[in-house]
Amino acid sequence: MARLKAGDAAPAFALPDQHGETVKLADFGGGQLLIYFYPKADTPGCTRQACSIRDAREELRDLALAVVGISPDQPARQQKFDDKYGLTFPLLADPDHRVAAAYGVWVEKTSYGKKSLGIIRSSFLIDGAGKIVAAWYGVKPEDTVPKARKALSG
């Protein structure tokens, strides 16, 4: 799948969150949304990323920016992650990788000489009309919020 860029339509999704409720892209119609994809709940990088978003929740609320995280984890694992760190935003389960593939983040990776498929940590800023404002592939965990902040301010 080709990488998404500014101006592209954000691929629609309907995925279960950590509470078992279905969350859809359409639920955020008319508002701005930050979607971030992460490889696995409760791992060091994913925890740093999620906690940085949690810690910026008031600022993000002031910017009228909703957030959802998406990983291949099942809802029960997402719930444990949320409970452990008090994340308080939707963590969506994409175990079949369909949504990750649609966003171009389910890719072949090489680690220690072995090839496998997995998530490349990425985030997307989506406007109220469902268009990509900015896409960051391979984003560092601590850069998710600053990149969104910069895109919204200028």
Contact 27, 128 (CB under 8 A): no
Q: Rounded to whole angstroms, how far apart are CA atoms 17 and 54?
A: 16
46 as an active site residue: the answer is yes
Nearest CA among 60, 61, 46 for reference residue 146: 60
Token reading at 144? 């998710």
Say which of 25, 41, 46, 67 is annotated catalytic.
46
Token reading at 64? 């009228």
Nearest CA among 15, 2, 71 for reference residue 42: 71
- Those residues whose C-beta lies under 8 Å from the C-beta of residue 110, and which sit 6 or more positions away, are none
Residues assigned a catalytic role: 46
